[in-house]
Amino acid sequence: MPQLLQRAWVRLVARVDGPLLLLTLALMATGLATVYSATADSSSRLLAQALNMAVGVAVMWTVAQLPPQKLMRFGVPLYLAGVVLLILVFFFGIKVNGARRWLSLGFTRIQPAEVLKIAVPLMLAWYFHKHEAALKARHYAVACLLLLLPFALIAKQPDLGTAILVGAAGFYVIFFAGLPWKVIIGLLAAAAAAAPFAWTMLHDYQRKRILTLIDPTTDPLGAGYHIIQATIAIGSGGSFGKGWLEGTQTHLEFIPERHTDFIFAVYAEERGLLGNAVLLLLYLLLIGRGLMIAANASTLFARVLAGSITLSLFTYVFVNVGMVSGILPVVGVPLPYMSYGGTALVTLSVGVGILMSIQTHRMLVRQ
């Protein structure tokens, strides 16, 4: 009996990367405690988030068992399915607060844009792996078109936060596949030149968010309210914080969206500068581990995919902390494993599971 249990345990953890798992669980535990405080000690929200995290861990473990060769097969069908679902959103999507982002399945709702966070890097990594022997300029051009299609569909919903994350994930794949620096510089110059035109394409509320970033006090009870209250909460935390469940800005409900997009303000008020440093260190270690896995990957597919997933995680953290701190415009980007919600958490867990798969199968994968 002990030998059977030992063998079962070995099979359970054989394809799980220890450092990634420990860092992810540490972030989940921190997030669970912060969600509990942010939701006014709501046991129902706590249980719901605990269930989300359990599903996330199960998904992470399941994906980690699949070798990269099998993951590669999901690239094309997942991308095509995601694009089709995005198109269906325009015709049958549910409109909430002026944005059409959800599809109803009767018993639940899905947000197809979340699928593209994984589908786009999978598709592009497969595409570059397929043409690895003779990559030319046209291959990078095709890759850009494959990226621009879902990016445009998501931005049109409008969902600028998710569009940024999908665009970043795809760009990282193209970059790691060997996009020349002169092309990158040219694209940056073109983006700068197109900025005035892009400004006219933004929705009114998006332009207002950018203008409010410069001076939130111009609309303290409207567009600037989120930034003002978040920065007050962060500053009031001081060096060591007010203590768990003791945040006044949180429990007097001054912080908007405090259990989702602005949960970092809740954490910063309760944990202070020292707690912020610990949290960012956990993210830094997670990102560092992902980059190590990318550097040691056995194939081009695994290398560019691991690099994209890791830098996408960095983008999540950078954009969320930046917008809560008042140095970036407010967009709908959650803080990984901290913000309340199941969809983004599962998507992130799929990404970490892919990193585990690449790491634990690397000795079996040969070009």
* Per-residue confidence (pLDDT) for residue 222, from 0 to 100: 72
- The answer to whether residues 337 and 26 touch, using CB atoms and an 8 Å cutoff, is no
Please give the model's pTM, rounded to 2 decimal places: 0.91
Tokens matching residue 24? 């992810």
Beta strands 99-104 and 94-96 are antiparallel
* Per-residue confidence (pLDDT) for residue 9, from 0 to 100: 52
* Per-residue confidence (pLDDT) for residue 367, from 0 to 100: 40
170: three-class secondary structure by DSSP: helix
Residue 109: name the closest of 92, 91, 126, 84 by CA. Answer: 92
DSSP string, 298-326: SSHHHHHHHHHHHHHHHHHHHHHHHHHHT
CA distances from residue 40 to 148, 226, 261, 344 in whole angstroms, order as listed: 41, 19, 16, 22
Positions of the chain with pLDDT under 70: 1-14, 41-42, 107, 205-206, 213, 215, 363-367
Omega before residue 158 within 30° of 0, cis: yes
For 239-290, the pLDDT digits (tens) are: 999 999 898 888 888 888 888 999 999 999 999 999 999 999 999 999 999 9
For 81-107, the pLDDT digits (tens) are: 999 999 999 888 887 777 788 887 776
- Rounded to a whole number of angstroms, the distance between the first and last alpha carbons of the chain is 40
* Per-residue confidence (pLDDT) for residue 328, from 0 to 100: 87
Partnered with residue 110 across adjacent β-strands are 103
| Rounded Cα gap, residues 11 and 19, in angstroms | 18
Residue 18: name the closest of 77, 64, 68 by CA. Answer: 64
Residues sharing a CB contact under 8 Å with residue 174, sequence separation 6 or more, in sequence order: 124, 128, 140, 143, 144, 147
- The answer to whether residues 27 and 337 touch, using CB atoms and an 8 Å cutoff, is yes
**Which one-letter amino acid corresponds to residue 50?**
A
Average model confidence (pLDDT) for the chain? 88
* Per-residue confidence (pLDDT) for residue 32, from 0 to 100: 94
* Per-residue confidence (pLDDT) for residue 232, from 0 to 100: 92
Place of tokens 């394409």: 201
